[in-house]
C-alpha cells in the first residue's frame, strides 16, 4: 500500500474488527495511544491524525493480514493464507 493512501476511519475500524484485534492491541502495535486510535476510527471520511500515525496503524493492520482496498469505494479484506509447505 502506498504511504500516500489515506484510509477512512471506518476502514480502520472495519479492518481491526476483521482481524480480531482490540483497540488497545492495535494501538500498542502501532505505538500510538488508544485515544488517538479512537479518534481515527471515529473520523468521518479520511482518518484524522498525523500522517505518520495513520501509516503506523495501516502497517500494523497489514502485518495482521489486512489488505486496504479502494476500487471506487474504500474497503478491507483479509489476505488469503499462504499454503504451508
DSSP one-letter string for 9-73: HHHHHHHHHHHT--HHHHHHHHT--HHHHHHHHH-SSBPPS-HHHHHHHHHHHHHTTEEEEESSS
Q: How confident is the model at residue 83 (pLDDT cuts 50, 70, 90)?
A: low
Specify the pTM: 0.84
Domain count, the chain: 1
Domain-embedded: residue 1: no
Residue 54 sits in which domain range?
9-75
pLDDT greater than 80 at residue 37? yes
Domain-embedded: residue 59: yes
Domain-embedded: residue 21: yes
Give the pLDDT score at 70: 74
Give the pLDDT score at 72: 67
Give the pLDDT score at 2: 44
Domain of residue 14, CATH code: 1.10.260.40
Give the pLDDT score at 79: 82
Domain-embedded: residue 53: yes
How far, in Å, CA of 38 to CA of 50, rounded? Answer: 14
Mean predicted confidence (pLDDT) in 47-67: 95
Domain-embedded: residue 15: yes
Domain-embedded: residue 80: no
**Structure letter (DSSP) for residue 2:** -
Amino acid at each position: 500500500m502506498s504511504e500516500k493512501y489515506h484510509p477512512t476511519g471506518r476502514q480502520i475500524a472495519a479492518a481491526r474488527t476483521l482481524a480480531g484485534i482490540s483497540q488497545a492491541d492495535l494501538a500498542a502495535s502501532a505505538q500510538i495511544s488508544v485515544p488517538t486510535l479512537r479518534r481515527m476510527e471515529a473520523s468521518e471520511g479520511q482518518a484524522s491524525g498525523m500522517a505518520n500515525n495513520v501509516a503506523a496503524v495501516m502497517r500494523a493492520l497489514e502485518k495482521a493480514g489486512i489488505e486496504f482496498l479502494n476500487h471506487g469505494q474504500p474497503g478491507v479484506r483479509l489476505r488469503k493464507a499462504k499454503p504451508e509447505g
